[in-house]
Amino acid sequence: MTFQIWGAVFTGMVLSIMLLNVVQWIIYRNHLYGLYTLYMLAWLFYFGLRVYEFRDWFSAETNYFVRAAAPMGAYYVYFGFADAILDLHRRLPGFYRQLQFVKLGIVIYVASQFVLCYGWPVWYPSVYEASFIAMRLAMAVLGVYGIRQMLTLRDAVSTAYAVGTGFLLIGGLTAMFMSLTWPNEDWSGPFWNVSMSYMQMGIIAELVCCSLGLSYRQRQAAVRNVRMEQELTNEREKHHRDQLEAELAMQRLEQEKTEVHIRALQAQVNPHFLFNSLNSLSALIEDDSQRAVVFLDELSSVYRYLLRANDQVLIPLADELAFIRSYCHLLQTRHGNALRVVCNVKPYLLKRQVPP
């Protein structure tokens, strides 16, 4: 297989992964897939401009700048993607802060390469190559350190991401050393003789690992959502059962309250007291009809109070004293001077609450 055919195969694989990722982006509406798509676009842009047919369309300065800057742009997006998928700012805050400085260094490096390629009056290939190799080696060191940090998280997504980073690191280093030891590559020959093929293979392996990590992460999120939905359903059912039990308890309490009220009413309406009061009223009707009317009014007041106080927890002391006066009037009517009742209550106490 020649490098041209391999390049088409590589582009097709990246496009397939990217289209699948775009579909997932549309379905799940998660910014993770947006960053992942941007990352793949950066590599497609880089290799698209590095292909032999396209290189002739641009100046030598543009080709040099793309060679130096495009991979750094992909790495810049890669760091943001790593933070989004692994939650580095919360789980590895120290490593996250270090990545922010690295991203700043990438910006400075790209700006310096732009000046070197377009703004410098004299072209210095040695300076360009030295800075290019130094930056690649620095990124390799960062990659090894980053893999070690990600493996400390000890979960499947972090492991997949670390393995993918390792593939990318191996592919990039292999491509760099091959280009240094074998600068005159024949792109029309077998693809394994071209250094860029190894970087592409590393990228493909890395994309596969990241895609698996994303799928696993999405599956975990789906499982968590199902569990949350189940827990929420169970909570609703439990709340509904508790509510039904509370309503049933309230109905029982209401029933018991009614029974208590009936028993209290039965206890209050003492048949002996009522019989004696009616006998007294009958005697008064024959002897003193005016007193009989007063007696009947007081008897009505007594039973009116008993019925009304049955639904109240507390009443004013003044109402209780009025009931006592009516009750005592009935007794004094029956017993005459044999019974004397004296009430001595200070006026400021009349509004105090007491049980009926």
Q: How do residues 96-120 score in pLDDT, each as one tens digit?
A: 999 999 999 999 999 998 988 888 7
Q: Show the 3-state SS of 327-346.
A: HHHHHHHHHHHHCCCCCCCC
DSSP, res 2: B
- Three-state SS for 57? coil
Please answer whether residues 156 and 135 qualify as being in contact, where contact means their C-beta atoms are separated by less than 8 angstroms.
Answer: no
In Å, how far are 114, 116, 151, 185 from 97, measured between CA atoms? 26, 29, 18, 40
b/e code 33-70 from CB counts within 10 Å (16+ = b): bebbbbbbbbbbebbebbeeeeeeeeeeeebbbbbbbb
Query: Given this model, what pLDDT does residue 122 score?
Result: 75
Please answer whether residues 210 and 217 qualify as being in contact, where contact means their C-beta atoms are separated by less than 8 angstroms.
Answer: no
CA neighbor of 6 nearest in space, from 207, 204, 190, 205: 190
Query: Given this model, what pLDDT does residue 346 score?
Result: 92
Query: Given this model, what pLDDT does residue 186 score?
Result: 65
Query: Given this model, what pLDDT does residue 105 score?
Result: 92
What six digits make up the tokens of 350?
Answer: 């009349």
Please answer whether residues 21 and 218 qualify as being in contact, where contact means their C-beta atoms are separated by less than 8 angstroms.
Answer: no
Distance (Å, rounded) from C-alpha 159 to C-alpha 165?
10
Distance (Å, rounded) from C-alpha 14 to C-alpha 202?
12
Distance (Å, rounded) from C-alpha 143 to C-alpha 126?
25
Query: Given this model, what pLDDT does residue 124 score?
Result: 77
Query: Given this model, what pLDDT does residue 264 score?
Result: 66
Name the residue with tokens 């990124």: 139
Round the average pLDDT of the chain to a whole number and report it: 83
- Three-state SS for 28? helix
The CB density around residue 175, as the number of other CB atoms within 10 Å, is: 20
Distance (Å, rounded) from C-alpha 281 to C-alpha 287?
10
Query: Given this model, what pLDDT does residue 266 score?
Result: 56
Query: Given this model, what pLDDT does residue 277 score?
Result: 79
- Three-state SS for 58? coil
pLDDT digits (tens, 9 = 90+) for 10-69: 888 888 888 888 887 887 777 788 888 888 888 888 887 776 566 667 777 888 888 888
* DSSP track, 102-137: HHHHHHHHHHHHHIIIII-SS--HHHHHHHHHHHHH
DSSP, res 193: G
Residues of the chain with pLDDT under 50: none
Give the containing element (helix H, strand E) for 316.
Answer: strand 315-316
